[in-house]
Amino acid sequence: MTTHLILGSNGVVGRETIAALRAGGHSVTAVSRTTSSDSEVTHIAADLRDAASASRAMQGADVAYLTVGLPYSTRAWRRDWPVLLRNAIDGCLANGTHLVYFDNVYAYGRTDAPMTESTPIRPTSRKGEVRAGLLRMLDAARDEHGLDVTVGRSADFYGPGASTSAFNMFAIDRVTAGKPPTWLFDASQPHSMTYTPDIGAALAVLGTDDRARGRVWHLPTAPALTGEQYLALTTGDRLRHRTMSMGTMRFGSLFSSAARETLEMAYQYTGPYEFDSTAFERTFGVAPTPYVEGIAASLGRATART
């Protein structure tokens, strides 16, 4: 039986990938620094930043899914991402493991056209430069050492329990607390969002369907709505929402590292941010979850926690 290894299993994408693989009847092993509360999944405690620890965890794996999430910090990304990826690459090469790498769109930089798998890598932020460097590492490992790698890329994500999602934090969680939802900078712009259960299901496809192997895929994402439309779906009332201005965020950056880290990515909200996943949908016959359903499920999970 094929062994599927989730590297970074405690984050929302890792959890959704585990759920999708298990639903498909696959054998799954979860890897994270802390123990898992899921008694039905084999768990290995490992620090993927440590080469020896990562190597031990990856022994015998047929497919490894790199779904690690790091703190939203350029400094942390520069320090830890290259090490994490190098250890994952080395482990895959040593074991003949197929690597499924979960990526975001930061390396594209600002683009006014809808993003496709053919969009050039032209980062316009420090975080985007880190992500572009990771893609170069993958390309070099594939071209020079024969790494078997498939990339699954999503837009901004949201979903049940997606605690690090901007939409969850500024909209879902605020509505659950009885507060008006907030959108960043310009609520009139179209902005794509990928539903986390769809991400998990799609990554499972990339690791189990040979048609996916060896290329970059945009994961299933519904056509973009505007910020105003998303907020209306969270409240049923188009007027009951707020937009955070750039000035407010800049002021907040004087005191908040999270605000400082967000500012360089403001272009994702001040202009069109549209993500095209047609290739995946047509190839695998998969449709993305409509936003009305995804937002309702996210609100339901958040409400259940309170």
Coil, helix or strand at residue 216 = strand
Per-residue pLDDT in tens (0 to 9) along the chain, 306 residues = 678 999 988 889 999 999 999 999 999 999 988 766 666 788 999 999 999 999 999 999 999 999 999 998 999 999 999 999 999 999 999 999 999 999 999 999 999 899 999 999 999 999 999 999 999 999 999 999 999 999 999 999 999 988 888 899 889 999 988 888 999 989 999 999 999 999 999 999 999 999 999 999 999 999 999 999 999 999 876 557 778 766 777 877 677 777 787 888 889 999 999 999 999 999 999 999 999 999 999 998 877 666
CB 266 within 8 A of CB 184: yes
Pick the CATH number of 3-155+193-218 from 3.40.50.720, 1.10.10.10, 3.40.449.10, 1.10.240.10: 3.40.50.720
Residue 36 token pair: 């898992």
Coil, helix or strand at residue 219 = coil
280-296: b (≥16 Cβ within 10 Å) or e? bbeebeeebbebeebbe
Q: What is the pLDDT of residue 39?
A: 65
What are the domain boundaries of the chain?
Answer: 3-155+193-218, 157-191+224-275+289-305
- Which residues 6+ apart lie within 8 Å of 176 measured at CB? 299, 302, 303, 305, 306
Give the chain's end-to-end CA distance (angstroms, integer): 41
Q: What is the pLDDT of residue 262?
A: 82
Strand duo 182-184 + 63-66: pairing = unpaired
